[in-house]
């Protein structure tokens, strides 16, 4: 019996020794495992540790992106991990190939002048971040320069998505691309074909949405076709005073909120069985609401107090459940505020026009007397778009009938003018009074190729260079015969 115990004890001791030695082996294996070659491109090697770190960063970035857009992303999903591994290793291969070709073709290393440019670019970002996060008042007194530099670099990556090394890589890649694509050109036939395509596309677009032409011109977008029905107009805007405009804007905000409340409470009551408008209005009419006055001494206007009273002896109201009654009271309150804001807005708007009537009448009178239009613009106009140097100051605004995106009274006044040179009376609009001049007609037809040729050629060349360079990199990758050991990565 004693010998059997000794045998068992020896067996346990042996097992313990194996376990302990196994632990030591695991520790050694971890270091070896981390150094395992996963990606090899020529003399460039990425280890398992490097790949895993990059994959984890990729997964975390994807999770952050999806989260910001309201979607889930599982970083533990085998499918997501596999996709991340494939993307990361492919990018490592591409980076290695590009680095090697850049050295071979003279795109790297950067010259001293290029390094100075890079340092200047980095310093601009550094100074901006420092001014925001490390101003004299905000900088901790115990932070070292090295710690501050590290934190600023982290902020630059967080907000601008670049590192200093990344900027250097971008410059090298740009130089390499320039070397590789130096012989890529755009032919006249390609320019003509692209122009024709853009003209046809624009014509079709404007046929379905005439206002989009005016929007494109106003936004400074390149246009390739001018549709029929447009004219160019200029204006002198006599604006509301700043005080009046602020009051109108705030009342509009309050009214918008009341309108939303009326809509939402009406929906709630419909869901509670009060979908019949006549029945609902009868209940509302039976209720009373006492509304306070708007306090105009406040810098920011707020809703006044509203007190509602339930109807007395109203069988239809009494038969409702408590929740429905609460929605009725809320709707009565919203409607009372809605009416108050609308009345207040109408009054404020009338007063705003009254405050600028004399100035607008003065402009109209001087026009009737034959005063120079531009001189009046210089003296009276308050529309930034018509001031010297503005994009539309020389040509005016493009306007067509029923145009969207512009204040309707402005469009109506512009289209009511009968001939070039005519000027409208003062016209009340959302910004004040418009005084509109019919400047010229817009001739229907394609924009002359010469006007847009440079832009077309530049865009086509960029596209061809991008495609050629990508194809060249893919050819380099294939020629390099990279090896990727996915089995080692996942074991």
Q: Same domain for 169 and 302?
A: no
Nearest Cα residue to 341 out of 408, 248, 219: 248
Last residue of one domain, picked from the residues 446, 467, 482: 446
Q: For residue 59, is it within any domain? A: no
Nearest Cα residue to 236 out of 386, 51, 24, 408: 386
Q: CATH number, domain at 382?
A: 3.10.50.40
Query: For residue 136, what pLDDT is reported?
Result: 67
Res 206 pLDDT > 60 = yes
Q: Same domain for 237 and 385?
A: yes
Q: Same domain for 132 and 151?
A: yes
The answer to whether 260 and 251 have CB atoms below 8 angstroms apart is no
Q: How many domains does the chain have?
A: 4
- For the chain, the distance separating the N- and C-terminal CA atoms, rounded to the nearest angstrom, is 46
Domain of 5, in residue numbers: 1-34
Alpha carbon 482 to its chain's center: 39
Pairing of strands 306-309, 231-239: unpaired
CA distances from 270 to 261, 265, 267 (A): 14, 9, 5
Q: Same domain for 237 and 378?
A: yes
Query: For residue 139, what pLDDT is reported?
Result: 63
pLDDT, mean of residues 177-182: 96
Q: Same domain for 236 and 363?
A: yes
Q: For residue 77, is it within any domain? A: no
Q: For residue 57, is it within any domain? A: no
Query: For residue 20, what pLDDT is reported?
Result: 46
Nearest Cα residue to 364 out of 429, 434, 412: 434
Res 341 pLDDT > 50 = yes
Most confident of 275-279, 393-397, 453-457: 453-457
Last residue of one domain, picked from the residues 288, 320, 341: 341
Q: For residue 414, is it within any domain? A: yes
Q: For residue 307, is it within any domain? A: yes
Q: For residue 98, is it within any domain? A: no
Long-range CB contacts (within 8 A, 24+) of 274-279: 274/324, 274/328, 279/316
Query: For residue 196, what pLDDT is reported?
Result: 98
Q: For residue 43, is it within any domain? A: no
Q: Same domain for 377 and 436?
A: yes
pLDDT, mean of residues 244-272: 97
Query: For residue 371, what pLDDT is reported?
Result: 97
Query: For residue 140, what pLDDT is reported?
Result: 65
Q: Same domain for 370 and 439?
A: yes
Res 216 pLDDT > 80 = yes
pLDDT, mean of residues 141-163: 86
Q: Same domain for 330 and 381?
A: no
Percentage of residues in the chain with pLDDT exceeding 90? 82
Q: Order of strands across the sheet with 37-41? A: 44-47, 37-41, 483-484
Q: Same domain for 297 and 285?
A: yes
The answer to whether 258 and 338 have CB atoms below 8 angstroms apart is yes
Burial (CB < 10 A; 0-12, 13-18, 19+), residue 403, is buried
Q: How confident is the model at residue 127 (pLDDT cuts 50, 70, 90)?
A: very high
Residues 222-235 have pLDDT tens digits of 999 999 999 999 99
Query: For residue 474, what pLDDT is reported?
Result: 94
Q: How confident is the model at residue 433 (pLDDT cuts 50, 70, 90)?
A: very high
Query: For residue 160, what pLDDT is reported?
Result: 87
Residues 4-36 have pLDDT tens digits of 554 454 444 444 444 444 454 455 578 899 999
Per DSSP, the chain holds a count of helices (H) and strands (E) of 16, 11
Q: Same domain for 231 and 370?
A: yes
pLDDT, mean of residues 355-374: 97
- On average, the pLDDT of the chain sits at 92
Across 8-12, 96-100, 277-281, 450-454, least confident range: 8-12
Higher pLDDT, 249 or 24: 249
Q: For residue 106, is it within any domain? A: no
CA distances from 311 to 202, 330, 357 (A): 61, 15, 47
Query: For residue 27, what pLDDT is reported?
Result: 52
Residues 375-385 have pLDDT tens digits of 999 999 999 99
Note if the bond before 142 is cis, omega within 30 degrees.
no
Q: Same domain for 436 and 376?
A: yes
Last residue of one domain, picked from the residues 422, 446, 470: 446
Q: Same domain for 411 and 433?
A: yes
CA distances from 316 to 76, 212, 270, 463 (A): 59, 53, 16, 71
């Amino acid at each position: 019996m004693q010998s059997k115990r000794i045998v068992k004890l020896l067996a346990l001791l042996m097992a313990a020794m194996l376990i302990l030695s196994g632990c030591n082996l695991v520790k050694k294996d971890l270091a070896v495992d981390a150094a395992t070659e996963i990606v090899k491109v020529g003399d460039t090697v990425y280890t398992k540790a490097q790949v895993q770190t990059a994959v984890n960063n990729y997964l975390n970035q994807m999770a952050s992106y999806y989260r910001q857009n309201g979607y889930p992303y599982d970083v533990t999903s085998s499918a997501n991990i596999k996709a991340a591994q494939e993307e990361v290793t492919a990018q490592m291969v591409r980076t290695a190939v590009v680095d090697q070709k850049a050295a071979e073709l003279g795109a790297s290393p950067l010259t001293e002048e290029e390094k100075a440019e890079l340092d200047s670019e980095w310093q601009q970002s550094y100074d901006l971040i420092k001014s925001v996060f490390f101003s004299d008042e905000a900088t901790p007194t115990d932070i070292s320069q090295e710690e501050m530099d590290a934190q600023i670099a982290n902020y630059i990556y967080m907000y601008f998505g670049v590192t200093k090394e990344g900027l250097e890589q971008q410059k090298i890649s740009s130089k390499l691309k320039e070397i590789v694509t130096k012989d890529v050109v755009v032919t006249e036939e390609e320019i003509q074909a692209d122009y024709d395509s853009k003209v046809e596309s624009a014509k079709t677009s404007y046929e379905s949405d005439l206002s989009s032409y005016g929007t494109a011109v106003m936004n400074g977008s390149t246009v390739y076709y001018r549709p029929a029905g447009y004219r160019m107009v200029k204006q002198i805007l006599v604006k509301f005073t700043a005080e009046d405009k602020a009051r109108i804007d705030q009342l509009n905000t309050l009214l918008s909120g009341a309108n939303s409340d009326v809509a939402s409470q009406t929906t709630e009551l419909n869901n509670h069985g009060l979908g019949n408008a006549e029945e609902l209005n009868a209940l509302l009419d039976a209720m009373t609401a006492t509304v306070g006055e708007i306090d105009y001494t406040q810098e920011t206007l707020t809703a006044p107090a509203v007190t509602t009273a339930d109807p007395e002896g109203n069988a239809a109201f009494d038969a409702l459940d408590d929740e429905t009654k609460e929605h009725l009271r809320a709707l009565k309150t919203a409607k009372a505020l809605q009416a108050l804001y609308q009345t207040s807005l109408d009054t404020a708007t009338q007063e705003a026009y009254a405050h600028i009537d004399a100035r607008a009448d003065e402009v109209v009178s001087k026009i009737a007397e034959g005063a120079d239009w531009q001189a009046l613009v210089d003296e009276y106009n308050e529309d930034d778009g018509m001031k010297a140097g503005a994009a539309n100051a020389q040509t005016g605004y493009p306007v067509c009938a029923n145009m969207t995106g512009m204040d309707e009274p402005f469009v109506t006044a512009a289209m009511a003018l009968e001939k070039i040179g005519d000027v409208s009376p003062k016209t009340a609009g959302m910004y004040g009074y418009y005084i509109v001049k019919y400047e010229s007609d817009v001739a229907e037809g394609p924009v002359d190729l010469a006007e847009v040729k440079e832009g077309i050629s530049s865009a086509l060349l960029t596209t061809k260079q991008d495609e050629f360079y990508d194809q060249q990199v893919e050819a380099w990758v294939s020629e390099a015969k990279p090896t990727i050991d996915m089995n080692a990565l996942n074991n």
